[in-house]
Structure 1
């Protein structure tokens, strides 16, 4: 398989792709590896997955014989070679004397996170590339608390994988016969769904839902819980069945935070008169959504996670206040890059919050894990369509998010209210925020060099103003020693730079290279106080966001000496 691929690249004289496949080892992140499937050390294949599995075995070995006895839960989604990679992972674990609990079919990443804790396993592995393009696959590693590892354990795992010299394997059937592979399914599913059911907030189920699992694991978590909860759910037929080729992709994108990926579900929702259209990502940990935004019209419009999350938090806290359950010990959590609006809401209800975390749900999971009473955790989110409630999963969950959104829309529908009207009420009270995400792709070796050049340049000569706005301060979360040009590694923990553009710090621009994909991102936030005319404030703030965008790209072009533009993620209903 791999030899023919290499020969084909040579025949086509595709030297850039060939170089990218072999010039370096695939990046090992804190949660494992992910990237393009193919030949070479910079690709996902049997060798690189085997190295990750062997590295995990050595990681577990260091925690002693009791850790090995607990076993590892192994799961997969539908991507190409996922079943083969899952089998390989079990074979490597078995050869190292570690039992695996292998799911009997595709499952979502959040159920894997749940299963690790439910089965009291030492770790879990999901064969997935999450929301990466359909060309990718990966190996995602969870520790005994059901969350991904954080410093210093993450660095230890990375070092072990890099230094793997031999990959041990035991034939799968031999491993099963020796009791080193146990097939799991129904029991874990039922326990997981029982926990999901306990999160219900309201009894109403009036929302009509169009749903797509995008050919993958959303059919095993979000869809069955929506149906079990009694919602009127209709599945987009052409994306209902598992399909490793993902024919519903936009280009190669299968990430529903892009409205183009969500569009088939949106159009289907309009056709059937749905109140919202939901689409989960391949491993079922995220969902994108479009909502009815006009009465007496079937039109559905895409709304970003920042707005959805703000509405959800306001909905949750409003219900709790009516029930007399709001108290200071309640905790909401978000990453710093996400909207400040949610924190304004939390403050007004007098609850506790953590809102300054680095990008990545592992940081949120760590906060919940170390709470004195995790029952006080009520909500978390990140701007890339990830949401969680409940303390039984230390990751984001598309099923939890989908049910919360469906209950909120049902509750609003019963009051003859749209989500846009609800958000306008929130803006009138807290001020208007415009949050926009930009994703700039950087391909191959040259792209990686561009990323390094950009962030070195930005640190060496940071702008004093952006779009005519003074840079009041710069927040650089990267370790000072790693900021030095000779030590810089793009995507290292803390590689986030934020330019504060207003005294109240509500206007800002954060940028970071992705730790899991060949790209870098901008997180733009503009803000305006509302004193009467919300429509006027919206226009002024949206215009300001456009000016910041233009200025941001001018700075980028100057550093790189060329023009690169990215996908833009924003709400369309404004």
Structure 2
């Protein structure tokens, strides 16, 4: 028998297999393709956790793969954290299928080790889980979510005792611990009733919510007199069938934004996300219903959060009355400028704005104009959280962090991207500009006029199977071994290889610098004319993303420059693929 057939037989012959999974397995028994896909490998535990399709099999999200992951985490924290049993672990979950069940399964495994688990009574956002780790002082946090993946997915994210996503080094140790669990079907557990009797399962009500909302209120930059007044800003909000409804509405209420209409059809948690093609505020179709309601109510701003409420999208009316969805780079730049314009300049003596290497350079220009420094990190908000932890020790001040993929963090009582914080401040910012007779699009134009017209783009190539992975690997090898000296007629100033952590100045090849970041298979070309290109392959699938940035003296110039960069790189990658 092949390895997948042996794995299938182990599951199929297991006497105590969960009845629902047993039924699904029986329905699949004649479909060898489906069986092989479900059993040919183990579900990958990446740098933050795991995510996969629900169903039976070691390559699926189910109670057994969750138990195995939690078993590895339990053994890791026993060795690496202090007072583990009493401090325990906090678990939250979103609106997806099996989310609460998986949360309880986590408690069952932890309880078998005598480790107390705090589980929320009902669904909560990811940023609240990050906050809860710090508020409750737990050794770790678990968030059951698949973010904005399709309905058939669920996932499992791990947070460290600082409330941040686990770092790559922590992930490596947890993975090693998980792999020591030989049989996912026989992981020891205690039943829920036993956990409750022993005091090993603590159901969390509203206490953490109230503590979070108190912190949320403190992030406002409004003067006290205006803070206490009702604002006339008209807001439409959609949580896209997810977890953000309560905290966003309460957060806006306590800052006296009374004119907030929720998209009722999308306010109810729904694991099918039945009103959208994808519950992702990065995609404009997710705003369809909010735009319709916005037109009816004459809304100044539309807010959309993804199901676990760590990403925020915003749309505002243009001069023709048409709602325009801001990019993550645009909203992040606006938030940064608003915050820096309302913070005491003394803060900047040791203040830091943090962004990823593929996030707009407009952020750096804005920060610099206010006297603040910019710190670049690799893609992934865990790296921003890690920097904030360092600043706790060094006394440096975190000002703001953002990524182009609609992730923002304003205050560090949360250590992950937080759409609730961003939603509240976005409304406060829109109110500020409305009182100046301007929209957020007007404010963005002012930033462009001051700093230059920055534009960003993204293209990707997705291939199939092992051969696709080989081709992606070959493409990166070719680009790494034969670095470009120009792209689309624009000279390369610096070539950055994040796998070797080396920055080479192409006009002076003997001049090199060490990049003080973790190693990652990423290449970046920094070009003349304030342009750049970055290649980043996926670590879990045969896919490569190419990010672009350009700056011009006007919008037409920057868009043309961006377009030619994108066209040139797409043609180049196609050419390399054909030769792979």
Shared topology, TM-score over 0.5?
yes
- Give the whole-Å Cα distance in 2 for the aligned partners of 1:302 and 1:157: 39
Q: 1:375 offset after TM fit, Å?
A: 8.1
Q: Where do 1:243-322 residues align within 5 Å?
A: 243-250=270-277, 253-294=278-319, 297-320=320-343
RMSD over aligned Cα atoms? 2.5
Look up the match of 2:512: none
Q: 1:509 aligns with which of 533, 537, 541?
A: 533
Q: 1:159 aligns with which of 173, 176, 180?
A: 176
CA contact (8 A) 1:134 1:254 kept: no
Look up the match of 1:357: 377
Change (3 A) 1:60 1:433: same
Q: 1:432 offset after TM fit, Å?
A: 1.1
Change (3 A) 1:263 1:520: farther
Look up the match of 1:485: none
Q: 1:188 aligns with which of 180, 194, 208?
A: 208
SS at match of 1:561: helix
Q: 1:18 offset after TM fit, Å?
A: 4.8
Q: 1:562 offset after TM fit, Å?
A: 10
Q: Where do 1:17-96 residues align within 5 Å?
A: 18-63=35-80, 66-96=83-113
TM-score by length of 2: 0.86
Is the counterpart of residue 103 in structure 1 residue 120 in structure 2? yes
Greater relative contact order (Cα 8 A, min sep 6): structure 1 or 2? 1
Look up the match of 2:10: none
- Give the whole-Å Cα distance in 1 for the aligned partners of 2:542 and 2:307: 19
Q: 1:220 aligns with which of 237, 246, 249?
A: 246
Is the counterpart of residue 555 in structure 1 residue 572 in structure 2? yes
Instruction: Report the number of matched residues.
Output: 535
Q: 1:553 offset after TM fit, Å?
A: 1.6
Q: Where do 1:314-333 residues align within 5 Å?
A: 314-320=337-343, 327-333=348-354
Change (3 A) 1:562 1:279: farther
Q: 1:257 offset after TM fit, Å?
A: 1.1
Change (3 A) 1:208 1:168: same
Q: Where do 1:405-424 residues align within 5 Å?
A: 405-424=426-445
- Give the whole-Å Cα distance in 1 for the aligned partners of 2:448 and 2:578: 40
CA contact (8 A) 1:107 1:220 kept: no
Deviations 1:301-359 (A, max 9, x none): 011011111111111112236xx6553222211111101111111111112331x2001
Q: 1:148 aligns with which of 165, 189, 193?
A: 165
CA contact (8 A) 1:129 1:136 kept: yes
Look up the match of 2:524: 498
Is the counterpart of residue 545 in structure 1 residue 574 in structure 2? no
CA contact (8 A) 1:293 1:419 kept: no
- Give the whole-Å Cα distance in 2 for the aligned partners of 1:8 and 1:471: 57
Is the counterpart of residue 126 in structure 1 residue 143 in structure 2? yes
SS at match of 1:524: strand
Look up the match of 2:12: none
Deviations 1:550-571 (A, max 9, x none): 12222222233399xxxxxxxx
SS at match of 1:509: strand
Q: 1:467 offset after TM fit, Å?
A: 2.4
Change (3 A) 1:54 1:102: same
Q: 1:394 offset after TM fit, Å?
A: 0.8
Look up the match of 1:169: 189
Q: 1:431 offset after TM fit, Å?
A: 1.1
Q: 1:173 offset after TM fit, Å?
A: 1.1
Deviations 1:178-218 (A, max 9, x none): 11100012111100110001111123633211111111111
Change (3 A) 1:402 1:443: farther
- Give the whole-Å Cα distance in 2 for the aligned partners of 1:113 and 1:291: 30
Structure 2: segments with no counterpart, 5+ residues: 1-19, 503-517
Change (3 A) 1:134 1:509: farther
- Give the whole-Å Cα distance in 1 for the aligned partners of 2:296 and 2:275: 18
CA contact (8 A) 2:350 2:396 kept: no
Deviations 1:376-405 (A, max 9, x none): 322111111111112211111001000111
Bigger Cα displacement from structure 2, 84-93 vs 163-172: 163-172
CA contact (8 A) 1:213 1:223 kept: no
Change (3 A) 1:43 1:442: farther
Is the counterpart of residue 459 in structure 1 residue 485 in structure 2? no
The structure with the larger Rg is: 2
Look up the match of 1:567: none
Change (3 A) 1:260 1:10: farther
Change (3 A) 1:480 1:350: closer
Q: 1:520 aligns with which of 518, 523, 544?
A: 544
Bigger Cα displacement from structure 2, 447-456 vs 135-144: 447-456
Bigger Cα displacement from structure 2, 509-518 vs 205-214: 509-518
- Give the whole-Å Cα distance in 1 for the aligned partners of 2:462 and 2:337: 34
